[in-house]
Every structure is written in C-alpha cells, then in structure tokens.
C-alpha cells in the first residue's frame, strides 16, 4: 500500500515536472519579454483553435499580475532603444486583428495602464488564412471569427494603449510567394496601414511565423525597425537579431502557474 502511494506520488511529480518545467533556469529580468497573443475570448466546444483563445478572466489575471509585480509595459517601437527600457520590461503583442481584442483586451489594458502592439492584417475579412498553412484546416473557424473594424482600430489607437504593426496584406504564407509577391504583401501592408490610420507602423510579424532570409531583408527594406517570429524564447540581445525576435507564446490553456513560469523562462514545458 505504502509503495503504491510512493509510486503514485513519484508519477505525479514527473507529470508536474514535464508539464511545467519548473526546473528551467530563470532568464535575467533585464531581458525584455515579448508576449504573443491572438484572441481574448471564451473557448468554443470542439474548436480547433482554442489554444489561441485566452479567456477574458484569465487575461485580466495575467495583466493584473504583471502590473502588481512591477513589469513595465512597452511597445515594439520602444525596443529600438533597449537601453532606455527599465528592468522587467514586457511587450504585449496581438496577431491578426480579431474583434475580441477591442471588446475584451482593450478595456483591461486601459484599466491597468498597459499597452500593446497590434499586428494587423489589412484584408482580414472573410478569409480563413489557416488554410494557407494547412489545407485540412477547412472548417472556416477563423474566417467566421469576427475581425476588428477600422473604426474600432482607430478608437484603440486614440486611447494611447496600442500601436500598429504590419502583418501583410492578406496574412499570406510568404513561402509560397516569389520576391515580387512577398514585397507586395510586406511593404504594401505597411503602406496601406499607415495611409488608412495615419500612424507609423514600426514593427512586423511574419504570418504563421514562416520566413526566410529574403523575408528578413524585405522587412528591413520596407522600413520596419524590427520583426517578430513565433520562435519561443527570450532574446539575449534584441539588437543582434532585431528582425528575428523570439516571443513567449501565451496559450489559451495556460493556468496561472504556467503563465508565471513562462514569464520566468520564456518557454513552454
């Protein structure tokens, strides 16, 4: 009986260690964390993309914890001069342009004095861009997910809580395009956002995190100051690879402990 309890406790410990990777060393808090979000909404039964959906209550818990623990909320544009940033700097980023960013995330940012960078797709309506990466993602789930209107984006920008980043014209899979097509998506997306909203667009996010050296060059040539990937982690020096910056992925399945450990090490279990 005793040995059975010991074995069960040992197994539970192994499962806990594997899930949370608590043993990973903490990354120096002087190194900025760039967090990656997509949606702030309730999960949907049977949905394929619930990992992209952080529940509103959980999102507020995360922002409240960051604020109460002395984290400074910066924008991607501020990473151009990292020496000016305090220790414990965090950058919130939201990819794509889902309507719940306005409905559920925006009020929380205002409440806690937080700021975020929105990587906005220009032509974001009636598109299921997940199929551009995996053809079997044909449920239409992301196509039917409400997207931000231009008026909502303007309200978000006017609040001072948000800045815009580029995310291409159509959320294209850049690996499937020739050089001219890539440039049209990257540079064209930036130009259209600047013209439409009358604000600078200093940063870029590669759709799906898919990119190559040519895309890095095109992003720099398009006038961006930096670019983010979907590679997990916290960079040692953001100036060294400023067009291939890593991010901390925030999953809709993260509980409080998982979030805090990700802030500590920058990686999933």
- Domains of the chain are 2-265 (3.20.20.370)
Cα separation, 38 vs 250, whole angstroms: 9
Q: Show the tokens assigned to 198.
A: 């009358």
Using CB atoms within 10 Å of the CB of residue 166, give its burial: 0 to 12 exposed, 13 to 18 middle, 19+ buried: buried
Instruction: Please tell me the predicted confidence (pLDDT) of residue 9.
Output: 45
The answer on pLDDT for 170 being more than 60 is yes
Question: What are the residues whose beta carbons fall under 8 Å from the beta carbon of 101, sequence distance 6 or more?
Answer: 39, 40, 94, 118, 148, 156
Residues 42, 53 contacting (CB under 8 angstroms)? yes
Q: Which of 174, 176, 175 lies closest to 187 in space, CA to CA?
A: 174
| pLDDT at residue 10 tops 70 | no
pLDDT of residue 165 exceeding 90, the answer is yes
**Choice between 164 and 13, residue whose per-residue pLDDT is larger:** 164
Mean pLDDT of all residues in 139-143:
85
pLDDT of residue 2: 66
Give the pLDDT score at 8.
Answer: 45
Q: Answer yes or no: is pLDDT of 3 > 60.
A: no
Report the pLDDT averaged over residues 210-222: 98
Strand 89-96 to 33-37 pairing: parallel
- pLDDT tens across 88-123, in order? 999 999 999 999 999 999 999 999 999 999 999 999
Question: Residue 22 above 80 pLDDT?
Answer: no
Whether 171 shows a pLDDT value over 50: the answer reads yes
Q: By mean pLDDT, which of 30-34, 126-130, 134-138 is the weakest? A: 134-138
Buried b (16+ CB within 10 A) or exposed e, 119-152: bbbbebeeebbbbbeeeebeeebbeebebbeeeb
Q: What is the mean pLDDT of residues 175-194?
A: 98
Give the pLDDT band (50/70/90) at residue 85.
very high
Q: What are phi and psi of 119, to 5 degrees?
A: -85, 100
User: Is residue 87 within 8 Å of residue 33, measured between CB atoms?
Assistant: no
Question: pLDDT above 90 covers what percent of the chain?
Answer: 78
Cβ atoms of 230 and 245 closer than 8 Å: no
Query: Average pLDDT for residues 39-56, to the nearest whole number?
Result: 95
**Sequence-distant (≥ 6) Cβ neighbours of residue 234 within 8 angstroms:** 27, 31, 32, 33, 34, 246, 248, 265, 266
Does the pLDDT at position 7 exceed 60? no
Contact predicate 163/199, CB 8 Å: yes
DSSP H helical ranges for the chain: 2-20, 56-68, 100, 106-112, 150-158, 179-197, 213-221, 256-265
SS3 content of the chain, % helix, strand, coil (to 5): 40, 15, 40
* 51: exposed, middle or buried (Cβ count in 10 Å: 0-12, 13-18, 19+): middle
Q: 44-53, 148-157, 219-228 — which is least confidently predicted?
A: 44-53
Backbone angles phi and psi of 121, in degrees to 5: -75, 130
Alpha helices, DSSP H only, in 69-117? 100, 106-112
- Report the pLDDT averaged over residues 228-235: 96
Between 190 and 4, the higher pLDDT residue? 190
Q: What is the mean pLDDT of the chain?
A: 91
């Amino acid at each position: 009986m005793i040995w059975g309890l010991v074995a069960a406790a040992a197994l539970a410990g192994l499962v806990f260690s594997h899930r949370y990777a608590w043993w990973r060393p903490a990354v120096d808090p002087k190194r900025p964390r760039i967090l990656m979000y997509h949606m702030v909404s309730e999960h949907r039964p049977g949905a394929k993309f619930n990992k992209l959906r952080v529940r509103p209550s959980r999102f507020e818990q995360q922002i409240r914890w960051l604020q109460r623990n002395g984290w400074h909320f910066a924008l991607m544009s501020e990473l151009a001069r990292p020496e000016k940033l305090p220790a414990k700097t965090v950058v919130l980023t939201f990819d794509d342009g889902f309507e719940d960013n306005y409905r559920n995330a925006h009020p929380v940012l205002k409440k806690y004095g937080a700021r975020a960078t929105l990587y906005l797709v220009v032509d974001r309506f009636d598109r299921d861009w997940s199929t551009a990466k995996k053809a079997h993602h044909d449920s239409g789930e992301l196509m039917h997910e409400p997207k931000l209107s231009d008026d909502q984006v303007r309200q978000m920008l006017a609040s001072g809580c948000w800045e815009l980043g580029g995310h291409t014209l159509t959320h294209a899979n850049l690996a499937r395009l020739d050089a001219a097509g890539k440039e049209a998506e990257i540079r064209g997306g930036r130009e259209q956002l600047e013209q439409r909203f009358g604000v600078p667009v200093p940063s870029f996010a590669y759709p799906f995190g898919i990119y190559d050296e040519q895309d890095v060059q095109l992003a720099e040539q398009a006038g961006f100051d930096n670019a983010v990937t979907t590679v997990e982690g916290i960079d040692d020096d953001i100036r060294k690879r400023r067009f291939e910056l890593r991010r901390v992925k925030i999953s809709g399945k993260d509980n409080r402990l998982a979030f805090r450990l990700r802030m500590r090490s920058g990686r999933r279990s």
